[in-house]
Structure 1
Amino acid sequence: MTRARRVPPGRAGRLRLRRNLEVALRGADLLEQKLRILRGRQQSLQETEESARRAWLELLADAETWLLKGLVTSGEGALEASAVADRADVTIEWTTSMGVRHPSGVVWTPAARSLDETAPVNTALARAEAAYREAVRAAADYSAARTASRLVGAEAERTRQRTRALRRHWIPRLTEELAAADLALEQSEHEDLIRRRWAADVPARPTTP
């Protein structure tokens, strides 16, 4: 339930309502401008996300194909023997769009094979290893793009809801209250004018000697 706001009577109350309405209208205009920018940014991020997703899936499928060929050639033992103990390192880079902090990209360092670790025993496993490296990089790119798209999209939705609340509820309510205040003030001033006229028309009583 919305708590009734206290508005001073008379001109002071009308002035406050007028200022509140002007602020609400300016706020709605700014929010709509922000929403247009956010939606444009969201569309761009969604396109980047979809492109990154396709790239990741293609690289993953290629890596799995080479892995299967390598296992058929040399068996599962060859895969275990050529495993790399190191891990890839991924650092997320961040930026801000219209007040929304979101990933802008990744810095990726692949896992490195040490000198004492066994290299892949056949060409297919070597190709699979390289392909999986690229797939990991692509997965990091896709994850960053997806997160950025979701964050900007969430802010766009919040901005849309705030704009809608202003346009459909707050501004109409202020407009109605301002109209009522204008009418009340006009009636009050009219009544004051009539009382002054009556007072001016009443003859002064004679002074009794």
Structure 2
Amino acid sequence: MSARSRQPPGRAGRLRLRRRLDAAQRGADLLERKLRLLLDRLRALEDTARAAEERWRALTAEAEEWLLKGVVIAGEGAVAEAAPAATGTLDVRWASLMGVRHPDGSHWTPPARDPGEARARTTALVHAEAAYRDAVGAGAEYAVARTAAALLTEEATRTRQRVRALRRHWIPRLTAELAAADQALEQAEHEESVRRRWAAAETPHRR
């Protein structure tokens, strides 16, 4: 059964079509506004992700270089001895944009050393530890931005599809049905007017 056949006849059907068309147009406008906000946020996230990735890769490369120097100087055993006993913590903040929940930042707390713990034997291992600490923070920032971008990209894709369906299919269909309803109503009113004129013209002859 088509949408047109479900409409009541006459002015009631035309009014219902008008309301449905208005609702579809408002919906498309709101979805396009949502899409613009999502795309603006996505561009910012992509910039953040690129910068964080570059910093993460640079810090990781620096840490690996210092680690290699430390191993050459003090041996692999020195690396195990210099590792802190505690573990760091990573807290991720979450936010919502246009109904899409996504990570919105992170806070990396490196492991703290106890006063009695062994320290790195060489300057190279000290530098390696510092670079790895910073690399973890940069990696977390990169992961947050990438994950948020992926979630918002999915929602932007769905929103774009809904806008396309409204603009290319649903709104044109309702517009055509409303035009047909207007034409049918105009035709019915014209025919009614003609019948009334005929009835008025025939009334004197019947007397």
Would the TM-score normalized by the shorter structure come out above 0.5?
Answer: yes
Does residue 176 (structure 1) correspond to residue 176 (structure 2)? The answer is yes
In structure 1, give the amino acid aligned to 2:30.
Answer: L
Q: How much does 1:4 deviate?
A: 2.7
Q: Percent identity?
A: 58
Alignment of 1:134-145 (within 5 A): 134-145=134-145
Does residue 20 (structure 1) correspond to residue 20 (structure 2)? The answer is yes
Larger helix percent: 2
In structure 1, give the amino acid aligned to 2:182.
Answer: D
CA distance in 1, matches of 2:168, 2:142: 38
Instruction: Report SS of the residue matched to 2:113.
Output: coil
In structure 2, give the amino acid aligned to 1:174.
Answer: L
CA distance in 2, matches of 1:39, 1:205: 75
Q: Which runs of 5+ in 2 are unaligned?
A: none
Q: Which runs of 5+ in 1 are unaligned?
A: none
Instruction: Report SS of the residue matched to 2:195.
Output: helix
**Which range is displaced more, 165-174 or 107-116?**
107-116
Counterpart selection for 2:2 from 1, 4, 21: 4
* Count of residue pairs brought into register by the alignment: 204
Structure 1 residues 134-190: Cα deviation after superposition (integer angstroms, max 9, x where no partner) = 111111111111112222222222221111111101100000110111111112222
Alignment of 1:1-209 (within 5 A): 4-5=2-3, 6-202=6-202
Instruction: Report SS of the residue matched to 2:107.
Output: strand
RMSD of aligned C-alpha atoms? 1.7
Instruction: Report SS of the residue matched to 1:202.
Output: helix
Q: How much does 1:35 deviate?
A: 1.6
CA distance in 2, matches of 1:37, 1:8: 39
In structure 2, give the amino acid aligned to 1:55.
Answer: R
* Regions of 4+ moved over 6 Å: none
Q: How much does 1:85 deviate?
A: 2.4
